[in-house]
């Protein structure tokens, strides 16, 4: 068949033509009724499929003229429309002569079936088509259809306008609530709109900024920075594609009040040719990123320090052990003995220093002991006198009575933090006074309630006062916030007081501060007093006073000098010793004779097999064999392994003296458990 398609939409014509040609039909496509009437003068068509809403001559007009032409009135006509879809539209179409009325879209199979029905009915028609309606009737019905359609379109336009206004209000609300600054520019860079966040960020309103260049001029007071910003904007304007943006750029700007901020800027070009520029305040984000990098550096330093401290502990174990053994072999009071005593004192000081390093790297447990705080204060005073300039006078008033349960290293850290903060507060003044006080107070219930976390009773009060710049109430409210600092860049991390606050609270204490701008600041730390006496450092005792024994001990360390030392110490105490420098031969020896030893003393860090894995394998051979693991760093793995694997594990910290080893060995042997069944 030769089929004529009338549709002013190219996509509609194309789809329908493709379908019909696919079924073997010849197709002609035109875009309005007038063109179709012209074509009908010279060409015979078997079927016409027509849209209704078209320019020049619509479908209704075309149908009326088609049925009025004797030469064409028998050609079947199908209306296929997406605009006139109501039942009254269908009734009018059929009354003026259409054979069928279809609504778009229609399934291909359904459409082809209707075409077949209409063509078959036309071929079987034996009577001429009904005469067309009187022109007056057609005009009346047609006018009604147009008026109704116009009313419908007006209603749709109003509905669309309301929807558009609602969307506009939603979009405007969204833009105004965004946490990002938004500036809308015309093609000549004039600023047409600024959202509230932009005003919060820069301090300017739309009336203040006639153009984007004005914004650049005011936000970059430095000439070089301003020229860099203008060069960037010129490149951005040139490279912006419609509905696309370019990469973000971060600038340091100065807002209307003079504050410096880091702002991330991203421009985009809209389809209308206008430009939108997005501004994000990233000052805090960049500051936190800097602090994070600093924290990562500190973590790396702490890891390195922990590794160095571990190696130092191994060295100190040899120094302490061999010096102590040598001191016991020469007459007491002799010149060599005095020199060895000096070596031992230096080694013990080095041991304490390594303990501080391990505490810094968090590789040692923080142990709280009964502590006389005046000893810590005296240590800090000795450091301060050599660290602070002579322009700062240091005074102290210390009461010696009163013991607290505290970690000496952390108390040292707390006092140093407060004193260094006092020093920084007095910098820039010709002179200053730093006062450190320590006294005992008995807090009443009323006084304790004023200091959150404290209870009534006796407390030690550690105070640090300075004659520095003092602090305003606004600064006082934030001094314990992590990373908050009033120091210049590079002079501090902002963690000192937050760490100090955390340490004091963990000791069940409280910290109080008073400050007057221009006068100075006083910090007071309250720590509860305990009744237990402070531990007394024991004097060196002769071998006869050391716990000893005759049991059989396997001693293992991958460093030969420490193996020699351990063997010598244990033999001095009366034990039978078999020594090894590698874990696998030691494990084979236990497999050969599980009952050959009463105790195993092993290092933790060794090649091929560490002390904990060795203990687990020994436990599979003989569960009740006690094991002492020696290490320069404490590890929570020991207690966990002892509980989960049911092993008899004891931890001995390096460096250890003869007494440390003697007591650990004797205590472990005396607590041996019955073998597990």
- Residue 419 maps to which CATH number? 3.30.565.10
Range among 69-73, 142-146, 269-273 rated most confident: 69-73
User: Exposed e or buried b for every residue in 70-81, given b needs 16+ CB within 10 A?
Assistant: eebbebbbbbbb
Q: Name the band, by pLDDT with cuts 50, 70 and 90, for residue 159.
A: confident
Are residues 65 and 74 in contact, defined by beta-carbon separation less than 8 angstroms?
Answer: no
Residue 138 domain-assigned (yes or no): no
Please give the radius of gyration of the chain, using alpha carbons only, rounded to the nearest integer. Answer: 47
Residue 274 pLDDT:
84
Over residues 560-594, the pLDDT tens digits come to 999 999 999 999 999 999 999 999 999 999 999 99
What's residue 427's pLDDT?
A: 86
Q: Name the domain boundary from 133, 163, 196.
A: 133
Within a domain: 96: yes
Whether residue 167 has pLDDT greater than 70: yes
Which residues lie closer than 8 Å to 51 by C-beta, 6 or more apart?
6, 7, 8, 9, 12, 59, 79, 80, 81, 82, 83
- Please check whether residues 508 and 394 belong to one and the same domain: yes
Q: Does the pLDDT value for residue 351 go beyond 90?
A: no
477 and 562 share one domain: no
For residue 586, being part of any structural domain is answered with yes
SS (H, E, C) 437-482: EEEEEEECHHHHHCCCCCCCEEEEEEEEEECCCCCCHHHHCCCCCC
Q: What's residue 472's pLDDT?
A: 84
Q: Which of 140-144, 318-322, 603-607 has the lowest mean pLDDT?
A: 140-144
Q: What is the pLDDT of residue 141?
A: 64
Predicted local confidence at residue 440, as pLDDT: 93
pTM for the model: 0.44
pLDDT(471) > 80: yes
Query: pLDDT-based confidence at 146, cuts 50/70/90?
Result: low
- Domain membership of residue 317 as a residue range: 290-360
Q: pLDDT tens-digit profile of 387-404?
A: 788 889 999 999 988 899
> Which residue did the predictor score with more confidence, 181 or 135?
181
Confidence of residue 367 (pLDDT cuts 50, 70, 90): low
Residue 127 pLDDT: 66
For residue 161, being part of any structural domain is answered with no
For the ranges 331-340, 390-399, 450-459, 503-512, the maximum mean pLDDT occurs at 390-399
Q: What percent of the chain has pLDDT over 90?
A: 34
Residues contacting residue 651 through CB under 8 Å, at least 6 positions apart:
628, 629, 631, 634, 638
Residue 490 scores a pLDDT above 70: no
Say which DSSP state 544 is in.
G
User: Which of 313, 340, 360 is where one domain is finished?
Assistant: 360
CATH number, domain of 549, equals 3.40.50.2300
For residue 161, how many C-alpha atoms fall within 13 Å in the half-sphere facing its CB?
6
Whether 43 and 74 share a structural domain: yes
Look up residue 670 and give its two tokens: 């005396």
What digits encode the pLDDT tens for the residues 98-125? Answer: 889 998 888 989 999 999 999 998 888 7
205 domain residue, yes or no:
yes
Q: What is the pLDDT of residue 38?
A: 92
At 439, the pLDDT band (50, 70, 90 cuts) reads: very high
* pLDDT higher than threshold 80 for residue 350: no
Range with the lowest mean pLDDT among 56-60, 172-176, 276-280, 355-359? Answer: 355-359
Question: pLDDT-derived band of residue 27, with 50, 70 and 90 as boundaries?
Answer: very high
Q: How confident is the model at residue 358 (pLDDT cuts 50, 70, 90)?
A: low
Torsion angles phi and psi, residue 405, rounded to 5? -95, 110
What percent of the chain is predicted at pLDDT more than 70? 83
Q: Is 523 exposed, middle or buried (0-12, 13-18, 19+ CB in 10 A)?
A: buried
Q: For residues 603 and 158, which has the higher predicted lDDT (pLDDT)?
A: 603
Q: What is the mean pLDDT of residues 220-244?
A: 82
Q: Are residues 237 and 295 in the same domain?
A: no
pLDDT value, residue 210: 92
Please tell me the total count of domains within the chain: 5
| Mean pLDDT for the stretch of residues 598-621 | 91
Is residue 309, in this structure, part of any structural domain at all?
yes
**Whether residues 563 and 594 fall in one domain:** yes
For tokens 């501004």, name the residue: 279
Q: Which of 97-111, 186-200, 259-273, 336-350 has the lowest mean pLDDT?
A: 336-350
Shared-domain flag, residues 95 and 236: no
* Shared domain check, 274 and 303: no
According to DSSP, residue 332 is labeled T
Mean pLDDT, residues 502-513 taken together: 85
Task: Tell me how far apart the alpha carbons of residues 477 and 483 are, in angstroms, rounded to a whole number.
Answer: 14
Domain match, 517 and 403 both: yes
Residue 536: inside a domain, yes or no? no
Is the predicted pLDDT of residue 290 greater than 90, yes or no? no
Domain containing residue 228: CATH number: 3.30.450.20
Say whether both 497 and 380 belong to one domain: yes
Q: What pLDDT sits at residue 674?
A: 41
Least confident of 166-180, 204-218, 451-465, 577-591: 166-180
Mean pLDDT, to the nearest integer, of 55-59? 86
590 found inside a domain: yes
Report the chain's mean pLDDT, rounded to a whole number: 82
> Does 255 share its domain with 392?
no
| Res 90: pLDDT | 82
The residue with greater pLDDT, 639 or 273, is 273
The residues, ordered by sequence, that sit 6+ positions from 472 with a Cβ below 8 Å of its Cβ are 517
- Same-domain status, 523 and 426: yes
Task: Determine the average pLDDT of the residues in 366-385.
Answer: 83
Q: Do 78 and 27 share a structural domain?
A: yes
Q: Vertex 496, ends 401 and 512: CA angle to 5°?
A: 50
Residue 87 in this model has a pLDDT that exceeds 90: no
pLDDT tens, residue by residue, 528-561? 998 754 443 333 334 457 899 999 999 999 999 9
Looking at 360, 378, 410, the residue that finishes a domain is 360
């Amino acid at each position: 068949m030769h089929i004529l398609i009338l549709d002013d939409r190219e996509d509609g014509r194309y789809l329908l033509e493709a379908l019909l040609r696919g079924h073997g039909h010849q197709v002609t496509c035109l875009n309005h009724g007038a063109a179709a009437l012209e074509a009908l003068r010279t060409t015979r068509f078997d079927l016409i499929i027509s849209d209704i809403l078209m320019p020049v001559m619509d479908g209704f007009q075309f149908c009326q003229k088609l049925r009025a032409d004797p030469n064409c009135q028998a050609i079947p006509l199908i209306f296929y429309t997406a605009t006139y879809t109501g039942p009254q539209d269908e009734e009018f179409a059929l009354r003026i002569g259409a054979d069928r009325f279809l609504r778009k879209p229609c399934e291909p199979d359904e459409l082809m079936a209707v075409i077949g029905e209409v063509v078959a009915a036309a071929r079987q028609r034996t009577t001429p088509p009904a005469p067309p309606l009187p022109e007056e009737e057609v005009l009346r019905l047609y006018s009604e259809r147009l008026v109704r359609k116009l009313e419908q379109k007006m209603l749709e336009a109003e509905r669309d306008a309301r929807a558009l206004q609602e969307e506009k209000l939603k979009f405007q609300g969204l833009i105004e609530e965004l946490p990002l600054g938004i500036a809308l520019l015309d093609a000549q860079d004039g600023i047409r709109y600024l959202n509230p966040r932009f005003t919060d960020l820069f301090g300017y309103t739309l009336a203040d900024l006639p153009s984007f260049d004005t914004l650049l001029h005011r936000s970059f007071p430095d000439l070089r920075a301003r020229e860099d910003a203008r060069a960037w904007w010129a490149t951005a304007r040139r490279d912006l594609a419609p509905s696309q943006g370019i990469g973000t750029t971060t600038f340091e700007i100065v807002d209307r009040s003079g504050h410096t901020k880091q702002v991330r800027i991203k421009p985009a070009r809209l389809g209308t040719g206008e430009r939108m520029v997005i501004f994000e305040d990233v000052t805090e984000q960049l500051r936190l990123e800097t602090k994070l990098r600093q924290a990562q550096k500190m973590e790396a330093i702490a890891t390195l320090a922990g590794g160095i401290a571990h190696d130092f502990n191994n060295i100190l174990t040899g120094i302490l052990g061999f010096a102590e053994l040598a001191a016991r072999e020469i007459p007491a009071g002799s010149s060599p003995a005095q020199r060895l005593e000096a070596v031992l004192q230096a080694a013990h000081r080095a041991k304490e220093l390594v303990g501080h390093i391990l505490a810094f790297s968090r590789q040692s447990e923080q142990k709280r002991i009964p502590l006389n705080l005046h000893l810590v204060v005296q240590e800090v005073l000795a450091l301060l006198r050599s660290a602070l300039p002579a322009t700062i006078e240091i005074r102290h008033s210390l009461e010696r009575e009163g013991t607290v349960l505290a970690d000496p290293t952390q108390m040292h850290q707390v006092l140093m933090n407060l004193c260094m903060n006092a020093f920084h507060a007095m910098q820039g003044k010709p002179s200053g006074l730093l006062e450190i006080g320590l006294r005992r107070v008995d807090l009443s219930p009323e006084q304790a309630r004023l200091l959150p976390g404290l209870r009534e009773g006796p407390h030690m009060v550690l105070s640090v006062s300075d004659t520095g710049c003092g602090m305003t109430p606004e600064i006082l409210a934030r001094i314990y916030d992590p990373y908050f600092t009033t120091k210049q860049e590079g002079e501090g991390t902002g963690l000192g007081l937050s760490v100090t606050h955390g340490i004091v609270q963990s000791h069940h204490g409280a910290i109080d501060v008073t400050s007057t701008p221009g006068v100075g600041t006083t910090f007071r730390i309250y720590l509860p007093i305990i009744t237990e006496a402070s531990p007394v450092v024991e004097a060196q005792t002769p071998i006869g006073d050391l716990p000893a024994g005759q049991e059989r001990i396997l001693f293992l360390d991958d460093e030969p000098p420490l193996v020699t030392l351990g063997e010598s110490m244990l033999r001095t105490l009366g034990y039978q010793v078999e020594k090894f420098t590698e874990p696998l031969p030691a494990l084979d020896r236990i497999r050969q004779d599980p009952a050959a030893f009463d105790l195993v003393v092993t290092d933790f860090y060794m090649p091929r097999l560490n002390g904990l894995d060795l203990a687990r394998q020994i436990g599979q051979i003989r569960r009740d064999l006690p094991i002492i693991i020696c290490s320069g760093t404490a590890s929570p793995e020991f207690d966990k392994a002892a509980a989960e694997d049911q092993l008899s594990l004891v931890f001995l910290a390096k460096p250890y003296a003869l007494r440390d080893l003697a007591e650990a060995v004797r205590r472990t042997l005396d607590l041996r458990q019955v073998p597990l069944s």
